Amino acid sequence: MHDNDPTTFTRYQKMVVALLAFLQCTVVLDFMILSPLGPMVMPQLGIGAKAFGFVVSAYAFSAGISGLLAAGFADRFDRKRLLLTFYSGFILGTVLCGIAPNYHFLLVARVVTGLFGGVIASISYAIVADLFPLSTRGRVMGTIQSAFAASMVMGIPVGLFLANHFGWNGPFLMIAAVGLLVGLLIASKLQPIRGHLVAGSAHRPLVHLFKTATNRHYMVGFAATMLVATGGFMLQPFASNFAVHNLGVSLDHLPMMYMAAGITGMVVGPLMGRVADRIGKFRLLAIASAAGMFVVLWWTSLDAIPFWLAIVGNCVLFATINARQVSTMALISGVPDAGDRGAYMSVSSSMQQFAGAVSSSASGLIVVQSASGRIENYHVLGWVVFGAMALTLVQMWNVNRMVVRKNASRS
């Protein structure tokens, strides 16, 4: 497809977007559920903030490694077959998390899940770039990113309910069961995607990986992707602990807080996708980043507040994060050539996961949990995220300029 194609979607395209959104919902939920379970996992496994930060970052580290290993092969196979292969491994890793009896088993299980789950997003984004023109990718990315919100609305509250009644392992078994159903739907409904094979590189896998990773134009996008990951990954591991022990949100009310933010995201995601296509991806990113930087500073400096304000503040914070993510992914998808999309998305995903893993580990070194459970130095993370968001905006300006020149040369 080309950027001058009609912006209306066929029935099959709508189905593909829905399938990818449901797919992303399970993958995102698997990653996100561990953070809200922190207040339960840490005392039950007898671990502190530093060890918990390693558990969270283990997924990201292994996902980054697998993304690099898969990059050389990403453009040499049918994307549907590649997607189902890695999704099957992801489900297996999630089951292992669900039966983990101790800290070390859980750590290994998160590594296994990351090895497979970390490649799924890059394959999904490559499929989007294959099937949809740049002019409509904001809408598509917005819908797929709403899976992030849907996991908060439906998955996290249900997961916390299961954890409260059946133990913290229960949510992972629920995700594995739902993932199996999603995998069967993809196997039966998604058509083979081989168009990229015609434009694909004739290089051997390692050569293809090297040429993609060292392409000076692509490196601009890789750097921007790494900066985007820094903010979210630094705040996320201790977000629930901060809400419970600093803001005064009870464990019983925590699911309601996530549900409110999720509903906000389900509305904001598709809406921001349309706005991105209408006013421009970078313009939306600039607006969302400016708002997000000051919201982060305000949020991370709070102490005990009324529950209604905790809900409102968390929703506003999540809305700005969602808008930044939609505009960023839509813009970055325009960087690679058709024959390099799979490799580019895999390397980009790896860089994001590595940056996120380092950020998660760093957050565990910066914050300190006192004997009462209170999270100290969270405001320091706020300033770090503020700086990362500012640098991201500068780097994304370079990405936007490159994408604009690239599309102008095609017209």
Q: Using CA atoms in the order 387, 388, 390, 392, what is the torsion angle rounded to 10 degrees?
A: 170
Greater pLDDT, 46 or 306: 306
Query: What's the mean pLDDT in 359-382?
Result: 82
Q: Residue 3 has what pLDDT?
A: 40
What region, left, alpha or beta, does residue 373 occupy, with left being phi > 0 and alpha being psi -120 to 50 degrees?
left
CB 176 within 8 A of CB 155: no
Which residue type does 160 have?
L
Q: Render 231-272 in DSSP notation, one character per residue.
A: HHHHHGGGHHHHHHHTS---TTTHHHHHHHHHHHHHHHHHHH
Alpha helices in 153-236 (DSSP H): 156-166, 170-189, 195-199, 205-213, 216-235
The pLDDT-based confidence of 359 (bands split at 50, 70, 90) is confident
Q: How far apart are CA 31 and CA 158, in angstroms?
A: 15
CB 151 within 8 A of CB 340: no
Q: Residue 358 has what pLDDT?
A: 77
Q: How far apart are CA 149 and CA 115, in angstroms?
A: 24
Q: Residue 410 has what pLDDT?
A: 59
Burial 188-208 (b: 16+ CB within 10 A, else e): eebeebeebeeebbebebeeb
CB 90 within 8 A of CB 121: no
* Helix and strand totals (H; E) in the chain: 17, 2
Rounded to the nearest angstrom, the gap between the alpha carbon of residue 39 and the centroid of all alpha carbons in its chain is 22
Residues 6+ apart with CB under 8 A from 333: 125, 128, 129, 134, 137, 141
> In the predicted model, is pLDDT for residue 263 greater than 90?
no
Q: How far apart are CA 190 and CA 83, in angstroms?
A: 11
Rounded to the nearest angstrom, the gap between the alpha carbon of residue 173 and the centroid of all alpha carbons in its chain is 21
Tokens of 255: 């699911």
Query: What's the mean pLDDT in 314-340?
Result: 82
Is domain 11-410 annotated with CATH 1.20.1250.20?
Answer: yes
What mean pLDDT value characterizes the chain?
81
Q: Residue 199 has what pLDDT?
A: 52
* pTM, 2 dp: 0.68
Which residue type does 55 have?
V
Q: How far apart are CA 359 and CA 361, in angstroms?
A: 5
Any idea which residue has 């102490």 for tokens? Answer: 303
Q: How far apart are CA 27 and CA 179, in angstroms?
A: 8
- In tens, the pLDDT along 177-217 reads 999 999 999 999 888 887 666 655 545 667 767 777 778 88
Domain ranges of the chain: 11-410
What region, left, alpha or beta, does residue 46 occupy, with left being phi > 0 and alpha being psi -120 to 50 degrees?
left
